């Protein structure tokens, strides 16, 4: 008989990463080709028979559920397909690799038409074309609960180039690309209009003025891009990050993962966080703290990385890369340094699957 909540442990008490640790802690890898398993943006697999520093395969997967990860009241199917593919590409870039192939699994309820699925796939194909990735297979099944999308992405990298989450060292610099909290503010705009004008025939069509001059915020939420340009810049500058991951669940959550796996602490400076002015305006309009949104919003799919302090001069000329803090000894903890120098514990309040 299945365990019930009455006498079982609530999954929410562990959270997503706690649950993963609980399920995989005692896992023993039996294949010598498995170089890295659970715990990073991608698994790292050596080609059969390969040795030393030969190229490796990177494998990642992402599951998107209707009503949990997306709302089709305002998410166009083509945009959804594009985003579902790109977020997987982002994981591969976060390992300093290049995405090469994807396979797509779909669970589809009876309310969707063939044309709907074609529209979804048009977005997936567009993402593949733009990033040079091949769609090589997948599976489709009936669903009783709406639309489910599962994409597995395969990438490649030289073994010596792969960057994990556990390599940050004391005095390393902490950097991010792009800006933070913008995708979250785009989501807040969409949710506000959905609730205020529920029942309108077309949300965006009927309330276009609500989004005037805020198209960038919507694009960041509905159609994010993976930062392959940042990876290219780092390579050209001769910078090899010591640790890296993409920002899907929020900056505070991601830096805490890096610190935990690297056995270090960090200091993040509030006045160094890159924040878009339109995002700040919308946050003020909605009585939200934009710094809190930047730290915890999630879905920015920017790159968070650490690098040796000796690379500082190489970092300065890079476009859209911002130095936001430094790695400290572990007993310092994970700290946010306020504008007046006050030190506050950095709390992960971003996306939590359970």
pLDDT at 8: 73
* pTM score, whole prediction: 0.88
pLDDT at 37: 73
Q: Report which of residues 14 and 142 the model is more confident about.
A: 142
9-18, 43-52, 122-131, range with the lowest pLDDT: 9-18
How much is the mean pLDDT over the chain?
89
Provide the percentage of residues in the chain whose pLDDT is more than 70: 84
Question: 149 is written with which tokens?
Answer: 């999308």
Structural domains for the chain:
18-161 (3.30.1330.10), 173-345 (3.90.650.10)
pLDDT at 129: 98
Which residue has tokens 């069509």? 205
pLDDT at 75: 96
Q: Mind listing the pLDDT tens digit for each residue in 21-43?
A: 665 566 666 677 778 776 777 99
**CB burial readout 90-99, b (16+ within 10 A) else e:** bbbbbbbbbb
Q: Mind listing the pLDDT tens digit for each residue in 271-280?
A: 999 999 999 9
Q: Would you say residue 53 has pLDDT above 90?
A: no
**Residue 212 binned pLDDT confidence (cut-offs 50, 70, 90):** confident
134-143, 190-199, 253-262, 327-336, range with the lowest pLDDT: 190-199
């Amino acid at each position: 008989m299945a365990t019930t909540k009455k006498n079982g442990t609530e999954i929410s008490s562990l959270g997503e990463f706690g649950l993963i640790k609980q399920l995989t802690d005692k896992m023993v890898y039996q294949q010598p080709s498995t170089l890295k398993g659970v715990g990073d943006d991608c698994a790292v697999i050596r080609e059969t028979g390969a040795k030393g520093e030969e190229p490796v395969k990177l494998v990642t997967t992402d599951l998107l559920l209707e009503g949990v990860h997306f709302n089709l009241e305002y998410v166009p199917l083509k945009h959804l397909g594009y985003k579902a593919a790109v977020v997987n590409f982002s994981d591969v870039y976060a390992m300093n690799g290049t995405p090469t192939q994807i396979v797509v699994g779909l669970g589809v309820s009876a309310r969707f038409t063939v044309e709907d699925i074609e529209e979804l796939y048009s977005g997936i194909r567009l993402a593949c074309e733009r990033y040079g990735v091949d769609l090589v297979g997948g599976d489709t099944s009936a669903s009783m609960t709406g639309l489910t999308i599962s994409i597995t992405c395969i990438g490649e990298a030289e073994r010596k180039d792969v960057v994990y989450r556990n390599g940050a060292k004391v005095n390393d610099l902490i950097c991010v690309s792009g800006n933070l909290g913008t995708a979250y503010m785009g989501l807040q705009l969409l949710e506000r209009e959905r609730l205020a004008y529920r029942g309108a025939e077309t949300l965006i069509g009927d309330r276009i003025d609500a989004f005037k001059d805020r198209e960038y915020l919507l694009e960041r939420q509905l159609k994010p891009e993976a930062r392959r340009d940042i990876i290219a810049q780092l390579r050209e500058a001769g910078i090899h990050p010591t640790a890296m991951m993409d920002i899907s669940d929020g900056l505070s959550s991601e830096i805490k993962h890096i610190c935990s796996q690297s056995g270090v602490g960090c200091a993040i400076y509030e006045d160094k966080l890159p924040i878009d002015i339109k995002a700040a305006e919308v946050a003020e309009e909605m009585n939200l703290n934009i710094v809190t949104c930047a730290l915890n919003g999630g879905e920015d799919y920017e790159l968070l990385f650490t690098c040796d302090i000796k690379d500082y001069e190489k970092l300065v000329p890079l476009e859209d890369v911002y130095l936001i803090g430094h790695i400290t000894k572990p007993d310092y903890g994970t700290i946010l340094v306020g504008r007046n120098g006050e030190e506050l514990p950095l709390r992960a309040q971003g996306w939590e699957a359970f």
